[in-house]
């Protein structure tokens, strides 16, 4: 079978069917059913968060965050992310302003963010790229100095900790994706989290058409999570620590084989507990990336140019040049990583990379 950039973890079918049978028995499919409420509570406990609001996907989570904070004008964001990050800004009638990234963490460079702040700036939308945390303290200081809100897109950062606490607790609101490709997933889904109870209530209202029962409080949208999706999340959560351990083992095997090559590997700060969501490699040149992709494809192995193109170069976005992000984007490749990948498969990938970079594979094993 082809080896894809990731493989979705699915819990034992009987575990999920046990929940499905209960859904069939009580007939409660959506609209804040018992499993949705149970999953919100379980996530609060697992992640040690104050408020969790489930959503039907991670993009809606970002849009709810922008709406709840009543943002307008310019939102400073990163060019190095998936399109959802910038699409949510535009969809909510705000203007994305791109600041360049730090070449080591791939996250927003606070100094570049400060240079982008204008009287029209209302917020910073930062992404914990590949699950590596942004410089949360520097961004918090900027936000305080200039009166800005902070939204974190933590689509990659579920389970990540900084100094022993969840990275999801930072900023005014953090949005997560629970898409099937993510470490923790509900097939499709997401959540928003914050520490302010009034803001959490506003997020709940926005998620469910702006009303509770027959009382309407304002404009809202359908951002609810179904019971079927929540049930899958409840099945996933007990397996998550095992999945992370399996991914960590694969991540470390890649590191062992690739450290001696002329490539840049992911730097995990010493104060960060990582979730091993991705294994990105920055190659010496775009040509090397293409050669690796071609040879891997011949063996039915499919990494991903993650992220390419940079968001400031999307056809529906007009952004200034961000040289660091554009350079990294042209040379980065996310290698296959999952709970199920084997050492033999990892060694096959590394053998092909070593061939392209003219490094004897035997040297990687010593």
To the nearest whole number, what is the mean pLDDT of the chain?
96
Asked whether residue 228 falls in the same domain as residue 157, the answer is yes
Q: What are phi and psi of 300, to 5 degrees?
A: 60, 40
**Mean pLDDT value of segment 261-274:** 97
Domain stops at, among 238, 260, 278: 238
Is the CB of residue 151 less than 8 Å from the CB of residue 130? no
- Residue 107 main-chain phi, psi, to 5 deg: -95, 170
| CATH for 50 | 3.40.640.10
- Return the HEC string of 11-50: CCHHHHHHHHHHHHHHCCCCCCCHHHHHHHHHHHHHHCCC
Residue 205 predicted with pLDDT over 50: yes
Residue 52 confidence class, pLDDT cut points 50, 70, 90 = very high
Q: How many CB atoms lie within 10 A of CB 350?
A: 21
Name the percent of the chain lying above pLDDT 90. Answer: 96
Instruction: Report how far residue 133's alpha carbon sits from residue 153's, in angstroms, rounded to the nearest whole number.
Output: 10
Domain holding 194, by residue range, is 3-238
Residues 199 and 147 in one domain: yes
Would you state the torsion angle of the CA atoms of residues 231, 234, 235, 239, taken in this order, to the nearest 10 degrees? 160
CA distances from 158 to 51, 84, 190, 345 (A): 15, 17, 11, 26
56 and 198 housed in the same domain: yes
pTM of the model: 0.96
Residue at which a domain ends, from 211, 238, 265:
238
Domain count, the chain: 2
Q: What is the CATH number of the domain that holds 359?
A: 3.90.1150.10
pLDDT bucket at 364, cuts 50 / 70 / 90? very low
- The pair of structure tokens assigned to 115 is 């240079």
Shared-domain flag, residues 113 and 157: yes
Taking 90 as the threshold, does the pLDDT of residue 37 lie above it? yes
Question: Is the pLDDT assigned to residue 207 strictly greater than 70?
Answer: yes
Examine the domain organization and report whether 137 and 253 are in the same domain.
no
Domain co-membership, 211 together with 324? no
Q: Would you state the pLDDT for residue 319? A: 87
pLDDT of residue 177: 98
Is 345 in the same domain as 234? no
Q: Which two tokens stand for residue 64?
A: 């709810």
Q: How far is 137 from 127, CA to CA, in rounded Å?
A: 14
Percentage of the residues of the chain whose pLDDT score is greater than 70: 98
pLDDT digits (tens, 9 = 90+) for 208-254: 999 988 999 999 999 999 999 999 999 999 999 999 999 999 999 99
Q: How far apart are CA 302 and CA 316, in angstroms?
A: 28
189: left (phi over 0), alpha (psi -120 to 50) or beta: left
Residues pairing with 304 in the sheet = 334
Residues 12 and 156 in one domain: yes
For the stretch 137-192, pLDDT in tens is: 999 999 999 999 999 999 999 999 999 999 999 999 999 999 999 999 999 999 99
- 132 lies in the same domain as 246: no
Quick one: pLDDT band at residue 340, thresholds 50, 70, 90?
very high
pLDDT of 229 reads 98
Which runs of consecutive H residues, i.e. helices, occur in the chain? 13-26, 34-47, 58-68, 83-91, 110-116, 136-146, 197-207, 227-236, 240-258, 286-298, 323-331, 343-356, 361-364
pLDDT above 70: residue 288:
yes
Q: How far apart are the first and last CA of the chain?
A: 30
Q: Are 73 and 137 within one domain?
A: yes
The helix (H) or strand (E) run that includes residue 122 is: strand 121-127
pLDDT of 365 over the 60 cut: no
pLDDT at 318: 81
Q: Are residues 107 and 22 in the same domain?
A: yes
- Considering the domain architecture, whether residues 120 and 40 belong to the same structural domain is answered as yes
């Amino acid at each position: 079978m082809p080896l894809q950039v990731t493989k979705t973890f699915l819990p034992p079918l009987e575990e999920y069917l046990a929940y499905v049978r209960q859904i069939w028995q009580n007939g409660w499919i959506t609209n804040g059913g018992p499993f949705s409420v149970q999953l919100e509570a379980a996530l609060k406990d697992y992640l040690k968060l104050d408020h969790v609001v489930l959503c039907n996907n991670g993009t809606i989570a970002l849009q709810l965050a922008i709406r709840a904070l009543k943002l307008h004008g310019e939102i400073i964001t990163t060019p190095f992310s998936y399109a959802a990050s910038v699409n949510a800004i535009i969809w909510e009638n705000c203007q994305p302003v791109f600041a360049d990234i730090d070449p080591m963490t791939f996250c927003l460079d606070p100094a570049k963010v400060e240079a982008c702040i204008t009287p029209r700036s209302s917020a910073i939308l930062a992404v914990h790229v590949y699950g590596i945390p942004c410089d949360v303290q520097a961004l918090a200081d900027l936000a305080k100095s200039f009166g800005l809100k902070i939204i974190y897109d933590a689509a990659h950062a579920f389970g990540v900790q900084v100094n022993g606490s969840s990275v999801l607790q930072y900023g005014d609101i953090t949005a997560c994706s629970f898409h099937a490709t993510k470490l923790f997933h509900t097939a499709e889904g997401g959540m928003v989290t914050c520490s302010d109870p009034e803001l959490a209530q506003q997020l709940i209202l926005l998620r469910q058409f702006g009303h509770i029962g027959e009382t309407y409080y304002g404009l809202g949208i359908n951002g609810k999570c179904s019971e079927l999706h929540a049930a899958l999340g409840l099945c996933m959560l007990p397996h998550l620590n095992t999945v992370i351990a399996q991914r960590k083992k694969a991540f470390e095997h890649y590191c062992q084989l690739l450290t001696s090559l002329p490539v840049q590997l992911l730097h995990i700060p010493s104060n960060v507990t990582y979730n091993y969501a991705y294994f990105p490699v920055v190659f010496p040149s775009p040509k090397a990336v293409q050669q690796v992709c071609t040879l891997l494809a011949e063996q039915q192995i499919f990494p991903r140019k993650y992220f390419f193109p940079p968001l400031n170069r999307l056809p529906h976005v007009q952004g200034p040049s961000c040289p660091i992000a554009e350079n990294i984007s042209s040379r980065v490749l996310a290698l296959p990583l999952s709970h199920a990948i084997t050492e033999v498969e990892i060694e096959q990938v590394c053998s092909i990379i070593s061939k392209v970079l003219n490094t004897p594979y035997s040297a990687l094993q010593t």
